[in-house]
């Protein structure tokens, strides 16, 4: 199957050509990661400690850490006593690498742990990322990076002051479909990107969960999954939005008393370009459409862990299975070893948070245009 965006056959030739640096279109990782990969001679895997053993840590990150080449699951931090033995047995974790929220700071003395991965409810991200940085550990923090611009800035500062690296869990930067979109934008072989449309939503269940509590989540669907549409528009254009306006829609359900249910927003990019997005906790939707002067790419589903699909100018896009989270964590391990910055750095998370705050500001004003 031909890969139309890369103008190349998928997988074998695709990787071979990029490694050889030939072909009209540059393919593959950005320069920092490519350098990190080149310099990568480390044989010892870096140890990762997961903080917060909920659904994402249990069902995505821990299994992904079985597929990583440059890091492994070395430790856990949990407030639930009963999870300790289950995880120790399942993942062969020694007792000395098991922490709780009261003795978390002691992790500073543990040489097995190089990277702390914060997978807690959103409002706890800043606190635990800063604690991890102060413990001298490199940090991966889940999206959204925090619940305010102020917190994001404090996290970046803490990591800089403690000379540790910071990365945000933007797994899609390692997915081949999204890498193709980034390539489409960067290389310009199909002209400039002229329009981006994106939606991500799902029907939320349990009304008692933290995602529906403002104090823990910071916001609703927008904070949780709308952020993927912001990210996608930013990397599809390769530019930053300069202004936006947003609209909120509510069913009146008690569930959404504290947080947003459905939000649509339009972002303005330089030269009059726009993106159009909707996010929701009330219905499922999951796609990304990127229009360029001479092409259109449709990725659907676009934001899932696997099973992504796509069409490029009426040709089917297909890639072999990869593990987004394994690639993401390995890339960060290489950044740590090579002392290079993550392409999904704290600054990336901060940029999205500035957009999120602008969307909430627009909503609070009844939909007025807000400059970013
Ligand atoms: P979850 O509810 O399944 O897990 C949250 C964990 O935090 C649980 O282990 C819980 O015990 C612990 N916790 C500690 N203090 C808590 C408190 N006060 N209230 C509630 N839980 C508390 O949530 P999740 O789906 O695993 O999400 C965790 C983080 O990961 C969120 O920031 C979320 O946005 C992010 N996430 C990212 C992706 C992705 O694709 N990158 C996917 C899912 C979740």
- Per-residue pLDDT at 100 exceeds 50: yes
DSSP-derived pairing of the beta strands 243-249 and 262-269: antiparallel
pLDDT of residue 16: 26
From atom 20 of ligand 1, which residue's Cα is the shortest distance away? 210
User: According to CATH, what is the number of the domain 31-171?
Assistant: 3.40.50.720
| Residue 227, CA distances (Å) to 303, 327, 351 in order | 11, 21, 11
pLDDT digits (tens, 9 = 90+) for 291-331: 999 999 999 999 999 999 999 999 999 999 999 999 999 99
More confident site: 156 or 41: 156
10 Å CB burial of residue 180 (0-12, 13-18, 19+) is buried
Q: Ligand 1 centre from 183 Cα, in Å? A: 32
DSSP string, 213-237: -HHHHSSSHIIIIIHHHHHHHHHHH
- Per-residue pLDDT at 2 exceeds 60: no
Q: Ligand 1 centre from 260 Cα, in Å? A: 18
Return the number of other C-beta atoms located less than 10 Å from residue 328's C-beta. 25
Which residue out of 137, 143, 165, 183 is catalytically annotated?
143
Percent pLDDT > 90 in the chain is 88
> pLDDT grade, residue 41 (50/70/90)?
low
pLDDT of residue 33: 39
Percent pLDDT > 70 in the chain is 88
Return the sign of the alpha-carbon dihedral for residues 234, 307, 286, 310.
positive
305 is catalytic: no
Q: Ligand 1 centre from 58 Cα, in Å? A: 10
| Nearest ligand 1 atom, CA 209 | 2
Return the number of other C-beta atoms located less than 10 Å from residue 162's C-beta. 17
Angle between helices 125-134 and 149-161 (to 10 degrees): 10
| Superfamily of domain covering 176-320+346-371 | Dihydrodipicolinate Reductase; domain 2 (3.30.360.10)
Which residue out of 72, 177, 228, 235 is catalytically annotated?
228
pLDDT digits (tens, 9 = 90+) for 16-30: 223 222 122 222 323
Q: What is the pTM of this model?
A: 0.92
* 101, 120, 213: residue to mutate for ligand 1 pocket, most atoms within 8 A of CB: 120
| Nearest ligand 1 atom, CA 171 | 41
Rg of the chain over Cα atoms, rounded to whole angstroms, equals 20
> pLDDT grade, residue 8 (50/70/90)?
very low
Q: Measuring from each residue's beta carbon to the nearest atom of ligand 1, which residues come in under 6 Å?
A: 52-57, 79-80, 119-122, 142-143, 169, 171, 210, 216, 224
pLDDT digits (tens, 9 = 90+) for 272-294: 999 999 999 999 999 999 999 99
> pLDDT grade, residue 42 (50/70/90)?
low
The domains of the chain are located at 31-171, 176-320+346-371
Q: What is the mean pLDDT of the chain?
A: 91
228 is catalytic: yes
| Nearest ligand 1 atom, CA 124 | 15
């Amino acid at each position: 199957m031909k890969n139309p965006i890369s103008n190349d056959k998928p997988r074998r030739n695709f990787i071979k050509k990029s490694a050889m640096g030939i072909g009209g279109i540059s393919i593959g990782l950005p320069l920092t990661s490519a350098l990190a990969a080149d310099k990568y001679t480390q044989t010892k895997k870096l140890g990762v400690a997961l903080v917060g053993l909920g659904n994402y840590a249990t069902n995505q990150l821990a299994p992904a850490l079985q597929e990583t080449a440059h890091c492994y699951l070395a430790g856990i931090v949990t407030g639930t006593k009963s999870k300790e033995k289950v995880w120790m047995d399942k993942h062969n974790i020694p007792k000395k690498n098991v922490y709780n929220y009261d003795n978390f700071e002691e992790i500073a003395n543990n040489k097995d742990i190089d990277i702390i991965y914060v997978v807690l409810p959103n409002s706890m991200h800043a606190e635990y990322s800063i604690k991890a940085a102060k413990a001298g550990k490199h940090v991966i923090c889940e999206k959204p990076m925090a619940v305010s611009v102020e917190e994001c800035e404090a996290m970046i500062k803490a990591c800089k002051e403690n000379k540790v690296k910071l990365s945000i869990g933007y797994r899609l930067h390692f997915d081949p479909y999204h890498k193709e979109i980034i390539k489409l934008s960067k290389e310009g072989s199909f002209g400039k990107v002229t329009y981006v449309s994106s939606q991500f939503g799902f029907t939320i269940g349990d009304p008692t969960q933290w995602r529906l509590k403002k104090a823990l989540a910071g916001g609703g669907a927008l904070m949780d999954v709308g952020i993927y549409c912001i990210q996608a528009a930013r990397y599809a254009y390769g530019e930053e939005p300069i202004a936006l306006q947003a609209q909120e829609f509510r069913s009146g359900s008690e569930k959404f008393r504290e947080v947003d249910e459905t939000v649509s927003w339009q972002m303005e990019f330089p030269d009059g370009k726009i993106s159009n997005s909707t996010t929701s906790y009330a219905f499922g939707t999951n796609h990304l459409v990127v229009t360029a002067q001479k092409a259109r790419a449709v990725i659907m589903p676009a934001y899932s862990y696997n099973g992504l699909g796509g069409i490029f100018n009426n040709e089917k896009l297909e890639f072999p299975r990869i593990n987004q989270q394994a690639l993401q964590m390995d890339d960060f391990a290489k950044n740590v070893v090579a002392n290079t910055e993550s392409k999904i750095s704290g600054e990336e998370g901060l940029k999205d948070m500035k957009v999120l705050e602008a969307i909430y500001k627009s909503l609070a004003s009844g939909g007025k245009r807000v400059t970013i």
